[in-house]
Homo-oligomer: A and B are copies of this chain.
Amino acid sequence: MKNEISIPTLKRLPSYYNIVCNALGAGEKYISSASIARVLDVDDTQVRKDIAAIGYAGKPKVGFDLIKFKVHLEEYLEFDKKRKSILIGAGNLGIALSRYQGFAKYGLSVVAIFDNDPLKIGLKIADKEVLSLEKLKETIVENNIKIAILTIPSNKAQETTDMLISLGIKAIWNFSPIALDVPSDVFVQNQDLGASFTTFVNIASIKNII
Contacts and interface: CB of A to CB of B under 8 A. Distances in A.
Contacts of A166: none
Contacts of A178: 18, 22
Interface stretch (A64-72, A91-99, A111-119, A135-143): A91-99
Contact of A209 (B99, B171, B190): B171
Contacts of A77: 198, 202
A90 to B, nearest CB: 10
Interface string A163-202: 0000000110100011100000111011111111111111
| Most chain B CB neighbours (cut-off 10 Å) among A99, A186, A202, A209 | A202
Given A83-B201, A147-B201, A171-B200, A14 B194 contact: yes
A39 to B, nearest CB: 6
B92 A193 contact: no
| Most chain B CB neighbours (cut-off 10 Å) among A17, A179, A198, A210 | A198
Interface string A1-22: 0110101101101110111001
A27 interface: no
Contacts of A91: 96
A189 B200 contact: yes
Contacts of A108: 194, 197-198, 201
| Most chain B CB neighbours (cut-off 10 Å) among A17, A18, A146 | A18
Interface in A1-54: 2-3, 5, 7-8, 10-11, 13-15, 17-19, 22, 39, 41
13 contacts: A2-B205, A3-B206, A15-B195, A17-B195, A18-B195, A22-B178, A93-B93, A93-B100, A103-B193, A108-B198, A108-B201, A146-B210, A185-B209
Given A3-B206, A92-B95, 16 more contacts: A10-B202, A11-B199, A14-B196, A19-B179, A93-B93, A93-B100, A95-B96, A96-B96, A102-B192, A108-B194, A146-B209, A147-B210, A171-B201, A171-B204, A171-B210, A187-B204
